[in-house]
Structure 1
Amino acid sequence: MEIKADASPLTIADKRANDVINGYLKSTVLPVISEENLELPFEERKNWDRCWIVDPLDGTKEFIKRNGEFTVNIALVSEGKPEIGVIYAPALDVIYFSLVSEKKAFKFHITAEAVDATEIIKSAREIHPKKVSNAIKIVGSRSHMNEETLKFIKELKSAEKEVQVVSIGSSLKFCLLAEGEAHYYPRFGPTMEWDTEAGQAICEAVGFTCKFSHSGKSIQYNRENLRNDNFVVSYEG
């Protein structure tokens, strides 16, 4: 294991997964932004109409802890907006995917070592969010429960609602929202584009918005600075 400049861990699994994914995406002839690829200057990226954004292993800390809460994130981005999102949780044998334009997201449980993509698409179950009732569920990170997040929770409680916090690692937070297991995902801490792009595609397909908390604008991709500002994911379907 190595330690990156930002003090986050890097494993052999990150590198190997990145090589495999890049090998498959090469045939699409579209550029790839990946956590493990060399970051290209914005002058070279700014004219890309479409690109892939990849995190070959999201939740490396969870991977090292062996708690199963790590994912592979892949999204196709068009004009800065997520178009297709795929989140695969290898240890949980589950894959989520969406096509934003069709406003549909799906979940498939993998029961065999080799599964054809056609079978996944054919047999996957469509997932739906749930509107807020009396109890509000907030999904958060096991590693990033800070003061701003606690303040957000307190403000929801002041509206005389019961608030429950569901903790889970990696981009699985987005998946819980999309399948109705939570209602909000406030993130007041550092993330990168490859941490959110696939999850945003899945959530937006079922009626959620993913907006920066300060500007109120939807998260856009392939920006000059690939680091995300604070954001909130909420249901507006």
Structure 2
Amino acid sequence: MNTVIEAALEAGETVMEIYNKDFDVEYKEDDSPLTIADQHANQLITDVLNRAFPDIPVLSEEGQPLSYEERAAWNTFFLVDPLDGTKEFIKKNGEFTVNIARVENGRPVFGVIYAPALDLLYIGDQEKGAVKVENAAALKKDTSDWYHAGVKLPLSSDFEDTIRVIASRSHMSKETKEFIDQLKSTGEQVETVSTGSSLKLCLIAEGNAQFYPRFAPTMEWDTGAGQAIVEAAGGSVRIAGTDETLNYNKKDLHNPWFLAETGEE
């Protein structure tokens, strides 16, 4: 666990070195942005994981494309998004993260999300639960027990008579608006919260919002670490309109639409 956390923190340092300078932006075939920060963070994380866990494969957004035939026999693997929220990184609003998940038999069982500009670290383990660690960079040299360094999730939240729904700032869809409108039609007071990258799932894990409907495209590496943290905090991430949990290492790495809910009553 500590090796994965340290890899995320070190990648965050690398990302911030580039964030604080001028940098060029390239565009991939799907028109999504790519920076040198994505590439450097990917190389660092991949190198650390390959050295520490040579028998566990790594699937990364910025790694070499792998066919389903190559992945089909994987029971355990690391799922990496070295810079989630590249658009937020380019905008320099601080709402970007480093995501690493360990997936076993199609389920994310451990996840780390580090927001380097905010110096916030989220950790989720299916056995140990979930924690949020503030000022993580400063603690890096002084702690080996991140669970004692953090605050247990979910936090105690008092929504009174308000429902809080997380909506993507960059990817608000018509269907998400309809979900919010449906809640409002029942007479409930609905507050919309916006943030970037996988921080949306972290807010659900914290208990700072009840719902995160994602009725727009995502990839497995966008959600794996966040789902591990949400579930470790007692919440859920299910395929929209079903009771089926989002699963991983599918033939098609695109996620179906999903609804994340907090475990906080």
Provide the rounded CA distance (Å) in 1 between the counterparts of 2:81 and 2:59.
9
Quote the offset at 1:44 in angstroms.
Answer: 1.4
Provide the rounded CA distance (Å) in 2 between the counterparts of 1:5 and 1:215.
32
1:233 aligns with 2:251: no
Counterpart pick for 1:151 among 175, 178, 194: 178
Partner of 1:196: 223
- For 2:45, the aligned partner's letter is I
1:8 aligns with 2:32: yes
Provide the rounded CA distance (Å) in 2 between the counterparts of 1:37 and 1:219.
22
Quote the offset at 1:233 in angstroms.
Answer: 0.6
Provide the rounded CA distance (Å) in 2 between the counterparts of 1:67 and 1:207.
29
Partner of 1:75: 101
Quote the offset at 1:161 in angstroms.
Answer: 0.9
Partner of 1:86: 112
Q: Is the 8 A contact 2:207 2:263 kept in 1?
A: no
TM-score by length of 2: 0.85
Provide the rounded CA distance (Å) in 1 between the counterparts of 2:170 and 2:137.
32
1:177 aligns with 2:212: no
Quote the offset at 1:121 in angstroms.
Answer: 3.5
Provide the rounded CA distance (Å) in 1 between the counterparts of 2:127 and 2:263.
16
Quote the offset at 1:122 in angstroms.
Answer: 3.1
Partner of 1:58: 84
- For 2:185, the aligned partner's letter is S
Q: Is the 8 A contact 1:132 1:183 kept in 2?
A: no
Q: Deviations over 1:107-155 (max 9, x none)?
A: 1112655713515343111121548641000011111112100100011
- Structure 2 gap ranges (5+): 1-24
Greater CA deviation, 145-154 or 208-217? 208-217
Counterpart pick for 1:19 among 43, 55, 77: 43
The count of residues paired between Structure 1 and Structure 2 equals 236
Counterpart pick for 1:33 among 59, 64, 67: 59
Provide the rounded CA distance (Å) in 1 between the counterparts of 2:33 and 2:127.
35
Q: Is the 8 A contact 2:154 2:263 kept in 1?
A: no
TM-score by length of 1: 0.94
Change (3 A) 1:209 1:112: closer
Provide the rounded CA distance (Å) in 2 between the counterparts of 1:2 and 1:53.
23
- Structure 1 gap ranges (5+): none
Cα-Cα RMSD = 1.7
Provide the rounded CA distance (Å) in 1 between the counterparts of 2:136 and 2:123.
17
Counterpart pick for 2:132 among 107, 117, 135: 107
